[in-house]
Structure 1
Amino acid sequence: MKRLAYLLLSCAALATSCSKDNDATPSGPKEYQVEYKVTSNATVSDYLSYTNESGGNTTLSNTPLPASYKFKRTMKQGDNLTILASIDGGTAASEITCSILLDGKEVKKETGRGVDAQAVPVYVIGE
C-alpha cells in the first residue's frame, strides 16, 4: 500500500511540475516586433507619446493620422509598452483609437471619445 501511495504521489508531483513548465510565462529577455497604430476620425493628433525601442519616450505634436510606428525591442516580464494620443478641440463625435501589437498580434486597444478625446493603452509583458 505504501508503494502505491508513493507511486501516486510521485506521478502527481511529476504531472504538476510538467504542467507548470508548459504554462509558465518566460521571464527571460525576448525580442519582440512592436507596433503602435493610431486611428481617428480627426486628421491630426495634437499630442502623441509612446515607449520607444530603448524603453524611453518619444513625443510628437501635430501628427497626421492615421499613424503607425514599428520597431524591435528586447523585453522581459514586467517591462511595459505605453502609447498616448489625443485630439484637442474636437467635437462630441471625435474619436481616437490606439492599439499595441506584439509580433503582429493586438495585445491592447483603447478608444477615447469627445471634445478632448485621448486614448492611453498600457501593456505589461506577462500580463
Structure 2
Amino acid sequence: MKRLAYLLLSYATLATSCSKDNDARPLGPKEYQVEYKVTSTAVESDYVSYTNESGGTTTLGTTALPATYRFKRTMKQGDNLTILASIDGGTAASEITCAILLDGKEVKKETGRGVDAQAVPVYVIGE
C-alpha cells in the first residue's frame, strides 16, 4: 500500500511540475529582440558565426572586438540561437566571451580560454 501511495504521489508531483513548466513557456511564435555580444582580451576574433534573423547562419572572418550584433526574429518554442567566436594564436591567458540576450535580458553566456580560445553558447527557446 505504501508503494502505491508513493507511486501516486510521484505521478501527481510530476504532472503538476510539468504543467507549471508548460505554463511558463511560450506556446506560439513571438518576436524577440536578439543581441549577441562578443568580448575578449584580444583585439580581434579570427572567426564569428551566429544564427541570424532568418534562422540561417552568418559567418564572418577577422572581426574587431568587442562586437555586437542585433536583430529582431520571430521564434517559437524549440527554436535556437547560437554564436561561436574564436581567437587564434593568443596566449594561455587569452579569453573570449560570447553572450546571447533576448529582449535585453542575458539568457546564455560562455567564456573560452587559452591559445586557441573559443566560446559557443547555445540557447533554446523555452529552455
Classify the TM-score, shorter chain.
0.7 to 0.9
Aligned twin of 1:4 = none
Aligned twin of 2:7 = none
CA RMSD of aligned residues (A): 1.6
Aligned twin of 1:49 = 49
Per-residue CA deviations over 1:5-29 (Å, capped at 9, x if unaligned) read xxxxxxxxxxx7xx75993412200
Aligned twin of 1:38 = 38
Taking structure 1 as the reference length, the TM-score comes to: 0.83
Task: Give, in whole Å, the separation in 1 of the partners of 2:21 and 2:119.
Answer: 36
For residues 1-127 of structure 1, the aligned pairs below 5 Å read: 20=20, 23-127=23-127
Per-residue CA deviations over 1:15-46 (Å, capped at 9, x if unaligned) read x7xx7599341220000000000000100100
- Larger gyration radius, structure 1 or structure 2: 1
Could you tell me which runs of 5 or more consecutive residues in structure 1 were left unpaired when the two chains were aligned. Answer: 1-15
Taking structure 2 as the reference length, the TM-score comes to: 0.83
Task: Give, in whole Å, the separation in 1 of the partners of 2:88 and 2:21.
Answer: 48
Could you tell me which runs of 5 or more consecutive residues in structure 2 were left unpaired when the two chains were aligned. Answer: 1-15
